[in-house]
Amino acid sequence: MKKDCCCMSERTKLRSEKEYKSLIHRLNRIEGQIRGIRGMVEKSAYCPDILVQAAAANAALNAFCKELLSEHIKTCVADDIRAGREESVDELTELLNLSQLLRTPARQLSLGQRMRCEIAASLLHSPKLLFLDEPTIGLDAVSKLAVRDFIRQLNAARKTTVILTTHDMQDIEALASRILLIGKGKILMDGPLDDIRRGGESIDETVASLYQQYDI
């Protein structure tokens, strides 16, 4: 029988029957919760009552993500280590300060800790192109600085191209060499950081000015 693993070429995974059933069971529950919320909206239920059910659905989705991440670490990440990628794992562990988290169950990790683990998992295969969506959201100040510093090192040392989406202007100032500002599906500005700072304005001021100009 083929062993559970992540396939690097096709980016698929052969899951055990236990893992598959557990994940599908969670998704079925979430699907039922979403249908229930839709029914409440259709029946004009009281807003706070809907919000309570939405919070429960969100908690269930977070639990699904935690279990998925936990299984990923136990299988795919472990396979990478056995395949001889210890140096990559050690580097990511040190730079993202994960040494205290390696033996911690995923369900016990904070949002910031899970974010750092997810970044590490996405980098294990040394991608040439990396997409990061709000990589510092929910992180404390120290973790934000660590993640930004790691992204800079990754770009410089491994020549990895990083495409970053963020609402954090400090992320932009710290990391971006080219900026695309998008509003209502339109590109409002495309250029280097210095072009965004028009006439000595801060990035926040420039963005606010453009949003007003385009009525966004």
Separation between Cα atoms, residue 117 and residue 66, nearest integer Å: 11
* pLDDT for the residue numbered 146: 76
Q: Which of 182, 181, 183, 211 lies closest to 193, judged by CA?
A: 181
| Residue 178 contacts residue 192 (beta carbons within 8 Å) | yes
Is pLDDT above 60 for 85? no
Separation between Cα atoms, residue 208 and residue 216, nearest integer Å: 9
Most confident of the following: 35-39, 95-99, 132-136, 159-163: 35-39
Q: Which of 72, 74, 71, 67 lies closest to 29, judged by CA?
A: 67
C-alpha triplet 110, 115, 118: angle, nearest 5°:
125
Separation between Cα atoms, residue 32 and residue 45, nearest integer Å: 17
Separation between Cα atoms, residue 205 and residue 202, nearest integer Å: 5
Task: Catalogue all structural domains in the chain, each as residue range(s) with its CATH number.
Answer: 12-83 (1.20.58.1000)
Least reliable range by pLDDT among 76-80, 111-115, 117-121, 136-140:
76-80
pLDDT band at 3; cut points 50, 70, 90: very low
Residue 169: partners with Cβ closer than 8 Å, 6 or more residues away: 202, 203, 204, 207
User: pLDDT, tens digit, for every residue of 183-210?
Assistant: 888 888 888 877 776 666 777 777 788 7
* pLDDT for the residue numbered 44: 94
User: pLDDT, tens digit, for every residue of 39-77?
Assistant: 999 999 999 999 999 999 998 998 888 788 777 766 776
Rounded CA Rg of the chain: 21
Residue 162: partners with Cβ closer than 8 Å, 6 or more residues away: 130, 132, 151, 154, 155, 175
Q: What is the pTM of this model?
A: 0.50
* pLDDT for the residue numbered 197: 67
**Largest pairwise CA distance in the chain:** 65
Which tokens is 65 given?
């993500």
pLDDT band at 10; cut points 50, 70, 90: low
User: 69 or 163: whose pLDDT is higher?
Assistant: 163
* pLDDT for the residue numbered 118: 75
